Structure 1
Amino acid sequence: MAWKTLDQMDLDGKRVLTRVDINVPVEDGRVTDATRIERIAPTVADILAAGGKPVLLAHFGRPKGKRVDEMSLQPLIPALEKALDAKVVFAADCIGPAAKAAVDALQPGEVLLLENTRFHAGEEKNDAELAAGMAELGDVYCNDAFSAAHRAHASTEALARLLPSCAGRLMQAELSALEKALGDPERPVLAVVGGAKVSTKLELLSNLVEKVDMLVIGGGMANTFLAAQGLDVGKSLCEHEMTGTAKEIAEKAAAGGCEILLPRDVVVAREFKAGAENEVVKAEDCPADAMILDAGPDSVAHVGQALERAKTLIWNGPLGAFEIAPFDAATNAAAGHAAKLSREGKLVSVAGGGDTVAALNKAGAAEDFTYISTAGGAFLEWMEGKTLPGVAALG
């Protein structure tokens, strides 16, 4: 483990610049979903318990280097105080005299929230001067924003190189879970990758077929792979121009000993709406006037057998059009099976990505997964085998 944790840092009396992701939805000046705020609470609590002074750095929205009043972090204070169970003081900038005065006035047990880092154009440019201005406000740097770790910004990358640095509790949990899933996993490893388009997950698929033992492909992506095998997929969502690429990925998998599982049977319908009339047919028997909207029961059983063999599961994307019934059946069944095995201690299951979290929550399976990552882009880039600047800078 190249990165340090809070446990390895001397925080007593230290100003701890803590990069967090509290980019939460706000309506009429009130936070409507405080999940991201709640997830930073353990880090802040541990800094306070060690005698440190937490100074929070965060972005909010896309102000593009200008001060935009609607994108101020100040309205988040009530939600922060509730989640952190501490007094939260606000500074109207993240560098300069106002920020320095607020840091100097910070009392033990209090938390300081600095204004939106993206009000400065240098933030997204990873500007060294801006990072130096932030560094003057702290003694230690703690990054607890894995969801922003794929971006080389001043508050995530340059700043980490200017102060003694460590990972916060959320970052630590995320990195530990990901290391367990792909870095040094217990085998066999099964990956479930779904979603609409092969083109958006090319790098992901290419990396996974070299790392995992079994790969389930679902959603619209599966249609492209079925078409690559010469099957007629009717009016289904399908990237026919990507069939050559799908063949190459399948060949790469075969050469590396990775078994690809595609739907054996499919649920087809003539219209895409809740409760639409539908039927189950073999994958090779999709009617010309129908579209594939989910994997069938035989496919689900096949995925279930793979789950039973697996020791580690990485899940990204649904198996069908999970947003509407009855085309959520395959995703719900497979997710339920994975949750049961995880609950019984037979499977280490890690999932991430926006649609994935929504699908697993809808299936009632999320709570039993070993780890659910809320970091969309960072989770995907890590799965693609890319180096994340915000993590590399902690090393």
Structure 2
Amino acid sequence: MQYNKKSVEDIDLKGKTALCRCDFNVPTKGGKITSDKRIVAALPTIQYLIAQGAKVILCSHMGKPKGEWKPELSLAVVAERLSELLGKPVVMAKDIIGEDARAKAAALQEGDVMLLENLRFDKGETKNDPEFAKALASLAEVYVSDAFGTVHRAHASTAGVANYLPAVCGYLIQKEIGVMGKALTDPSRPFVAILGGAKVSDKLNVINNLLEKVDTLIIGGGMAYTFLAAKGYSVGTSLLDAEKIDYCKEMMQKAEEKGVKLLLPVDTVVAADFPDPIDGPIEVETVDSDKIPADKQGLDIGEKTRTLFADAVRSAKTVVWNGPMGVFENPTLAKGTIAVAQALADSEAITIVGGGDSAAACEQLGFAEQITHISTGGGASLEFLEGKELPGIACLLDK
């Protein structure tokens, strides 16, 4: 994967029409936006385009309309919020590549901003239909990619349009590939990676790829129990990926051969049942990882493990974290995840948190400001850690 890509600062934008793919997939309730974080995150790129005298056409998806026009998934609420944040009107198109969008695009002056309707109202978007991509590209002269959360998908607006327009990245993607790209290709060492979450199968390639790069790999969360089973421990009724036990043995062997420290939980917080409701009260006890009772399941890492993992983070110069250490939604079972988030916040290292639940944990706990970089894309950051080529980045011009 080549990370050295041209950005908005590498091209002349004056008087040019720029099609900018943003991530405006914001949560709404009763027709009102409940969090405008993603809109705010897009502002630096949009403001740069305006300042350079570009005519700006923004586009995004929202929700999963599956090619149907659904009024409740219209981006009109985004246009309204965006004009408040920019302090200038944002023209809302009534369609995507239809007459209204084309007329409004043609009328743009330098520094004007317009927003197309939800891209996924057209089936051609997710199918990466060349005709749809071509029509989208025909509205502009330059393509700016700034929606990291979608770069792992080869859709018309994330990859297809780059076949017809010179393509560069905006500031959000520039930061993602700059920080994460450096961590994976040239990290300051010791390099520690922490993986959590439910299933080993979700992170097979990530584990394999990271063992080539890190000095220490920490495994927590539900996926740790398959590793513990691979060590010959009984894991009670804990989450177990039985088909992946041999794979875990191979990974432990690989770590040993490569001289990578592989840290697994040494103690576990267990309960008789999974909490129901998920955030409800639950009776727990802490046991050593090789002494999980047959009728109990592990739901978080224990205190000794929290100290072990925090110590490994303390000695690191680069830390990448993806996935919670336990059933983070329950206050009783969130202590492991909180301990890891705290260790990253206290660390002097370059700390990178890869989207999803880990990002939510850092934000909810108020640690976001102390983390070097919190990724804006869950699935994309995971595929990044796998070393996969991401279509939405591969299509950008190299420097």
Alpha-carbon deviations, 1:209-232, whole Å to 9, x = none?
A: 122111110011111111111111
Task: Report the more deviating stretch, 367-376 or 99-108.
Answer: 99-108
CA–CA distance in structure 2, aligned partners of residues 86 and 391 of structure 1 = 30
- Is residue 384 from structure 1 mapped to residue 377 from structure 2 by the alignment? no
CA–CA distance in structure 2, aligned partners of residues 11 and 108 of structure 1 = 10
Write out the 4+ residue segments of structure 1 that deviate beyond 6 Å after TM superposition. Answer: none
Contact 2:148 2:376 in 1 (8 A): no
Match of 2:108 among 106, 109, 115: 106
CA–CA distance in structure 2, aligned partners of residues 119 and 280 of structure 1 = 50
In structure 1, the residue matched to 2:19 is 17
In structure 2, the residue matched to 1:225 is 227
Structure 1 gaps, min length 5: none
Task: Give the RMSD, CA atoms, in angstroms.
Answer: 1.6
TM-score normalised over the length of structure 2: 0.94
CA–CA distance in structure 2, aligned partners of residues 25 and 265 of structure 1 = 38
Q: How does 1:269-288 map to 2 (within 5 A)?
A: 269-273=271-275, 274-288=280-294
Change beyond 3 A, Cα 1:161–1:237: same
Alpha-carbon deviations, 1:312-339, whole Å to 9, x = none?
A: 1110011122211222112212211211
In structure 2, the residue matched to 1:328 is 334
In structure 1, the residue matched to 2:29 is 27
Change beyond 3 A, Cα 1:275–1:26: closer
Contact 1:191 1:314 in 2 (8 A): yes
- Deviation (angstroms), 1:275: 4.6
Amino acid at match of 1:34: D
Task: Report the more deviating stretch, 123-132 or 210-219.
Answer: 123-132
Alpha-carbon deviations, 1:140-194, whole Å to 9, x = none?
A: 1101111111111111112123212211111111111111221221112111100
TM-score normalised over the length of structure 1: 0.94
- Deviation (angstroms), 1:207: 1.4
Alpha-carbon deviations, 1:259-313, whole Å to 9, x = none?
A: 1100112222224444533322221112222221221221112112211221111
CA–CA distance in structure 2, aligned partners of residues 7 and 325 of structure 1 = 45
- Deviation (angstroms), 1:254: 1.9
Alpha-carbon deviations, 1:69-106, whole Å to 9, x = none?
A: 33222232221112232210011222243222101222
- Is residue 297 from structure 1 mapped to residue 303 from structure 2 by the alignment? yes
CA–CA distance in structure 2, aligned partners of residues 122 and 109 of structure 1 = 29
Match of 2:93 among 85, 91, 94: 91
CA–CA distance in structure 2, aligned partners of residues 189 and 179 of structure 1 = 14
Contact 1:357 1:372 in 2 (8 A): yes
CA–CA distance in structure 2, aligned partners of residues 375 and 222 of structure 1 = 24
Q: How does 1:24-103 map to 2 (within 5 A)?
A: 24-103=26-105
Structure 2 gaps, min length 5: none
Aligned to 1:207, the other structure's residue is in SS state helix
CA–CA distance in structure 2, aligned partners of residues 322 and 233 of structure 1 = 20
Amino acid at match of 2:296: A
Aligned to 2:331, the other structure's residue is in SS state coil
Aligned to 1:33, the other structure's residue is in SS state coil
Contact 1:269 1:278 in 2 (8 A): yes
